[in-house]
Amino acid sequence: MRYWDMPPSIDLEETERRLTRSLSVDPQWHATWTVLARRDGQLPDDQFVGMVNYHARQQWNRRLALGWILIPRFQGRGYMQEAVRAVLAHCFTVLNAHRVEAEIEPNNVRSARLAQRLGFQREGLLRDRLFVADRPRTQQMYGLLRSEWGG
């Protein structure tokens, strides 16, 4: 959770509370999907590897934001690219989004590369955009318009 917008959970119970809260939010504003990996010779079926969500949805502006997190040992296998691509399809077709945003910290190189592979454009730097554990964090804004989406 190094690049997440909140500090890591202090224990399993806090993680469970966060997940329960996330899953109970009205899907008009926020939704979360788990990313599962199917058996590939190394993993059992339905191995949890990460999550993707949309949040900050402004239906009247046809805009929302995406976030994703992947367990580090599963990086480089294409799981997140496949999952985010599916969520983008949902956002553009079912939710009728015109614009999808992703705020990514400058040091989160893997996440920035993923966004760019999916067609997101880097649009600018948001200095001290948020505070995590009382420390300011800078974010890069990435945006993807429906007309640019390769869906």
Q: How confident is the model at residue 7 (pLDDT cuts 50, 70, 90)?
A: low
Q: What 8-state DSSP symbol labels residue 92?
A: I
Architecture of domain 12-148: 3-Layer(aba) Sandwich (3.40)
Instruction: Give the residues across from 100 on adjacent strands.
Output: 64, 144
* Winning range, highest mean pLDDT, from 26-30, 77-81, 124-128: 124-128
Query: Which helix (H) or strand (E) covers residue 142, if one does?
Result: strand 135-145
Mean pLDDT rounded to a whole number for the chain: 87
> How large is the average pLDDT for residues 140-148?
97
Name the residue with tokens 């600018």.
124
Model confidence pLDDT, tens digit, residues 81-117: 999 999 999 999 999 999 999 999 999 999 999 999 9
* Residue 145 confidence (pLDDT) above 80: yes
DSSP helix/strand/coil, 51: strand
Contact status, residue 37 vs residue 77, Cβ threshold 8 Å: yes
| Residue 119 CB-density burial (10 A; 0-12 exposed, 13-18 middle, 19+ buried) | middle
Contact status, residue 34 vs residue 25, Cβ threshold 8 Å: no
